[in-house]
Structure 1
Amino acid sequence: MVRSRNIWLVPLLLGGTLMVGCVSNKKYAALETQHRDLAELYQKGQLDLAESRAKIKSLEDQLKYERKNNAALKEAYARLQGSLDKSITQNTQGNVNISKLVDEINASNRYIQHLVNTKNKSDSLNLVLTNNLTRSLSREELRDVDIQVLKGVVYISLSDNMLYKSGSYEISDQADETLRKIAKIIMDYSDYEVLIEGNTDTDPISQPNIRNNWDLSVLRASSVVQALQNKYGVSPKRLTAGGRGEYNPIADNTTVAGKARNRRTQIIITPKLDQFMELIDKAPEAESVPST
């Protein structure tokens, strides 16, 4: 009977052990699942924490920028306030200095009027000089002569085509009549100084015994001087020959028309100081100057 009872206990113990083993595996699986869930929550927590830290850093940077901007605004406000205070102070002082300001404006107006009167006087002098120096020429003759008066100095400009043979410094036959007209102007005022000034374009010269445009400009001026002396009786003591080569252009040397204007001879008639002062005395007042 005892033996039989033991035989029944063995299966029961084995069954109980198997039941205990089954419960432990389920718990283990549940723990694993719980562990995975916790790991995922931890990972998500780490990501949320990193994102929060990045936002905090961005907010801190923005706060720093706003503080700096606020400081700049405060500084600008302080400057504006200072300017306003200064303007108020100056406005108060301006009421005291207004009469002085009016006096200064009146003085400026008087000076401006003086400059206007001086300019009118100078224009009147130029008109007197032009009339006196060209009175021997008819209107038709003046078409052949370009005359300008600047600051009391007379400039008579003649093109090389009128005066010289092509590529040469020899006076052409057609220039005789023109030079005769110029001699009239010079002889009218026998004490004036006369400078004959040659000018060229930038094209290089290729003539025998002429090295460059310097030589050509001086030789052309010398030819005019000698013609005025030998043909028309102008005193050589009054005459000066000079050349400026290509270095005093009045037009663009890259165009045919510009080169033609630069190839010129200027006859410059200059009064001496005492004659200049005499002409000033003769100059009419501004209101009597005829309009052109």
Structure 2
Amino acid sequence: MKKAVLLLAIMALSLGSCGTKKKIAELEAQNKECQDLLNSTTVKLNMCLSEKDLLSNQITDLKKSNSDLISNVGNITMLSTKGAENLEKSLESLKEKDLKITRLQDALTKKDSVTLALVTSLKKSVGISDPDIEINVEKGVVMISIADKMLFKSGSYEVSDRAKEVLGKVAKIVNDKPTFECMVESHTDTVPYRNGLLLDNWDLSVKRATSVVRVLTVDHKVKPSQLIAAGRGEYVPLVENNTVANRSANRRTRIIIMPKIDEFYDMIEKEMKNQKAGK
């Protein structure tokens, strides 16, 4: 009997031990599944957190870019406005310069017209057919060139009677233009001056220029304020002083008739003022 009871007890313990192991195994399997699920969830969570940080940074960058774009749009608008203003000012400046050029050209045209009229009048009155007298326009002024053999004797500064007649016709033109100036410019050749009364050719050229000025003022009543006497000596020759003919050509007196420079610019200024006033 005792043996039977002991056997039953051993069997019961064996059955209980087997049930516990099975339960433990089941629990361990469930625990492993939970751990795997936790690990997987942790990985996903970390990935989500990383993506969140990345998106957050991108949003910050986009906000900054948007702010910069708005600022740049404002700057571009400001630059465009300033650019338009500068362009308008440049165009106005170009218009003013173009106007000045136009008025200057008009003034020059008027001056040239007066100059050409003077040439025509002089040629008719003086007699251009005389080979010792040349009348032309150089650098915008009328120039009357008279050979010294008509004006003076060799080495002399006394004006000849024939030259006084020619100077009388020139004086009439000058007197008709009371606002014009008249420069008497005398030239010599390179042959040294040997008369003890004067120092050299330069002295002689100045003396000849003042002699012509005196004829114009004393004999023909030209206003002294219109006249300029200039001696150039031998230093502005037309040709080389290497032949008798060339030296003769270099001995000359030029009478230059020209508007006063200040009056010329006054004329330009007046024209520009009239243009601005709409006249």
TM-score for both structures, normalised by structure 1: 0.50
Q: Distance in 2 between matches of 1:234 and 1:139?
A: 17
Verify the 8 A CA contact 1:194 1:239 in the aligned structure 2: yes
- Which residue of the partner structure matches residue 141 of structure 1? 127
**Is 1:252 matched up with 2:261?**
no
Task: Provide runs of 4+ in structure 1 moved above 3 Å.
Answer: 118-128, 275-279
Q: Distance in 1 between matches of 2:154 and 2:106?
A: 43
Verify the 8 A CA contact 2:141 2:256 in the aligned structure 1: yes
Q: Distance in 1 between matches of 2:159 and 2:141?
A: 25
- Which residue of the partner structure matches residue 55 of structure 1? none
- Which residue of the partner structure matches residue 117 of structure 2? 131
Verify the 8 A CA contact 2:107 2:267 in the aligned structure 1: no
- Which residue of the partner structure matches residue 183 of structure 1? 171
Verify the 8 A CA contact 2:123 2:135 in the aligned structure 1: no
- Which residue of the partner structure matches residue 225 of structure 1? 213
Paired residue total: 170
- 1:262 and 1:186, CA in 2 relative to 1: closer, same or farther beyond 3 A? same
- Which residue of the partner structure matches residue 187 of structure 2? 199
Where 1:247 maps in the other structure, the secondary structure is: coil
- 1:1-292 aligned at under 5 Å gives the runs 125-126=111-112, 128-135=114-121, 137-138=123-124, 141-144=127-130, 145-273=133-261, 274-275=263-264
Q: Distance in 2 between matches of 1:146 and 1:276?
A: 29
Aligned-residue Cα RMSD (Å) equals 3.3
Identity %: 43
Verify the 8 A CA contact 1:213 1:245 in the aligned structure 2: yes
Give the drift of 1:189: 0.9
Q: Distance in 2 between matches of 1:189 and 1:140?
A: 17
In the TM superposition, what whole-angstrom CA distance separates every residue of 1:185-232 from its partner, at most 9, and x where no partner exists? 211211111111110000011113111001100000010000000000
Verify the 8 A CA contact 1:201 1:263 in the aligned structure 2: yes
TM-score for both structures, normalised by structure 2: 0.53
In the TM superposition, what whole-angstrom CA distance separates every residue of 1:145-177 from its partner, at most 9, and x where no partner exists? 312222322211111001012220001111121
Q: Distance in 1 between matches of 2:148 and 2:165?
A: 15
- Which residue of the partner structure matches residue 45 of structure 2? none
In the TM superposition, what whole-angstrom CA distance separates every residue of 1:81-103 from its partner, at most 9, and x where no partner exists? xxxxxxxxxxxxxxxxxxxxxxx
Larger Rg: 2
Give the drift of 1:139: 6.8
Verify the 8 A CA contact 1:198 1:221 in the aligned structure 2: yes
Verify the 8 A CA contact 1:193 1:270 in the aligned structure 2: yes
